[in-house]
Amino acid sequence: MWVVSYGRTTPGLNDTLFYVFAADTLADDKGLRALPGQPSSHWPPGFPFLVSLFYRVFGVHPELGLGVNVLLSTATAALLYMVAERMLGRKAAVVSGGAFALLPGPLFFTGLFLSETTYMFMLVGFLALALLLPERTWTPIALGIAAGLAALTKGEGVLLAVIPLAMWWGNHKRSTILRKGTVFLVAMALTILPWTIRNAVVMDAFIPISTNASTTLWSGHNDRATGGVVYPPSSLYEQVSGRGDPQTAEVGEARVLRSEAIEWAIRNPHEELGLIPRKLIALAGTTSSVFPIWFNTGDERQVDASAVIVFGVLGDGLDYALIFLTLAALVLIGPRRLWRIHPGMQGTLAYLAVCLVTYGFVYYGQFRYRIPMEPLMILVAAPLLVGVWERRQSLKGELVPPV
């Protein structure tokens, strides 16, 4: 219903423009391209490639991209239920699946031509594979391929590596962990390798996944850094050689921004430490920002002012409730007790911890980066919610007089 009523198929002057255009060029066998048509590796190819497969069958209709979002978001709810049932039991599964279905943040993104919904599905699906696949010699290979595909959808997919490593840690001999971990990492690297080779041939540069990583890195490490997104000044772009060729400029800009960010971080360690809490606060930013940034941009206003207020309050309220419950679970239950619940919880906690380091130090914080983390935040909060409910039922039973 959300996508039918508010889904945006006309891209604004933002990331959606790239994804819409890239899906079109991929369907037309022209490869991943950016406006005005030059080959690009600015963002990973996974989401536009997936949509291009539907384009080949049904024709080029951006609505298909949003339809893919709906299908994958629905599947994510089902997968989260399965994961929670295996890790925490049926009650927690009902809580987890129901909470994800009600969360406005992931719902809002189904109406946008962006990769977040696909990546969320791959993240929860990867955790499901790690939990449900049998112990076989080929299991680390399958997990490595899945993690590689996730990284080709969003660069932070490389962080999925910590999930099986954390699940194996303490549950296998060190020699077994080393063997399985090596096979997993090699399989993941080999899955990414063809795209890296494509970039070396087409872009004439070593780009493992995307050049946008350098832009994101610079946003988190510069004199103007605030903890959130910051755009480079024109003076930096003037240092790029070959600016007349957009393809050469893309690679040159990535090199300049990466170099500037690393040099600034080395020269300003105290400022770096001061930015960490600001980045984490930005990571917990308001979900309602999705409307001015994505839905109501350019000449098209997808959501009217009154609806923005209602959906914004609902989105912010429920997302902040999830953040509060996740932190409450960590405080009241404790990281150690949560860690001992199940190997799947170990993988969940490890992934969330690495994400906090990534967005709180390496890059910068934004609500958009938090949205894919929310299914795993639900898994952390679920034991607390179930415990409170069971305690409440127990107290009710004690208050009922015997017959």
Write the pLDDT tens digit of every residue in 158-181: 999 999 999 999 788 889 999 999
Banded model confidence at residue 157, pLDDT cuts 50, 70, 90: very high
In a domain, 256, yes or no: no
208, 196 Cβ separation under 8 angstroms: yes
Q: State the residue range of the domain holding 297.
A: 2-210+268-385
In a domain, 249, yes or no: no
Residue appearing with tokens 């001992």: 340
CA 284, CA 365: separation in Å to the nearest integer?
8
pLDDT higher than 70, residue 365: yes
Collapsing DSSP to helix, strand or coil, 366 comes out as coil
Q: What's the CA gap between 301 and 70, in Å, rounded?
A: 21
Q: What percent of the chain has pLDDT over 70?
A: 96
Q: Where are the alpha helices (DSSP H) in 7-110?
A: 15-27, 46-58, 63-88, 90-102, 104-109
Q: How far is CA 108 from CA 104, 130, 196, 303, 363, in A?
A: 6, 28, 32, 11, 24
In a domain, 101, yes or no: yes
pLDDT bucket at 403, cuts 50 / 70 / 90 = very low
**What percentage of the chain has pLDDT greater than the value 90?**
81
In a domain, 242, yes or no: no
Q: 399 falls in which pLDDT band (50, 70, 90)? A: low
Average pLDDT, the chain: 92
Distance CA 103, CA 395 (A): 29
Q: What would the pLDDT profile of 81-103 be if each residue is shown by its tens digit?
A: 999 999 999 999 999 999 999 99
Taking only the tens place, the pLDDT of each residue in 310-361 is: 999 999 999 999 999 999 999 999 999 999 999 999 999 999 999 999 999 9
Residue 394: inside a domain, yes or no?
Answer: no
In angstroms, rounded to a whole number, what is the distance separating the alpha carbons of residues 82 and 130?
12
Domain assignment present for residue 291? The answer is yes
Q: In sequence order, what DSSP letters do the residues of 108-156 get, joined into one string?
A: HHTTSSSSHHHHHHHHHHHHHHHHHS-S-TTHHHHHHHHHHHHHTTSGG
Residue 354 lies in a domain: yes
Mean pLDDT check: name the lowest of 5-14, 145-154, 158-167, 212-221: 5-14
Question: How many domains is the chain built from?
Answer: 1
∠ CA 25-110-132, nearest 5°, is 95
Q: Is residue 260 part of a domain?
A: no
**What's residue 238's pLDDT?**
77
Q: Specify the range with the lowest mean pLDDT, choosing from 219-223, 237-241, 287-291.
A: 237-241
